[in-house]
Amino acid sequence: MKKQLDKSVIRLDDFIKRSGLVGTGGEAKMYIQAGDVTVNGSVEIRRRKQLALGDKVGLLGEVLTVTPFED
């Protein structure tokens, strides 16, 4: 039996990496731990924070909205 993935949520570090704002997961981790990432306007330092559709993630002067994604 295959485990169903919920595509309406994604971890913060995965979102930053998949969005192309950074090149690697390690780079995403560094920005998050340094307090350089915001979620819905508030600094977020938990790299495994679960994001939901519509959340706004800010990094490096860009703000991206979480939307459905494909594998």
Tell me whether residue 44 is in a domain. Answer: yes
Tell me whether residue 71 is in a domain. Answer: no
- The pLDDT of residue 4 is 42
pLDDT digits (tens, 9 = 90+) for 19-33: 999 999 999 999 999
Residue 38's domain spans which residues?
Answer: 9-65
Q: Is the pTM of this model over 0.95?
A: no
Cα torsion 13, 18, 19, 20 to 10°: value is 100
pLDDT of 49 strictly over 80 = yes
- The pLDDT of residue 71 is 58
pLDDT digits (tens, 9 = 90+) for 3-16: 444 556 899 999 99
How many structural domains comprise the chain? 1
Tell me whether residue 24 is in a domain. Answer: yes
CA 2 to chain centre: 25
Tell me whether residue 3 is in a domain. Answer: no
- The pLDDT of residue 6 is 54
CATH of the domain at 55: 3.10.290.10
Tell me whether residue 36 is in a domain. Answer: yes
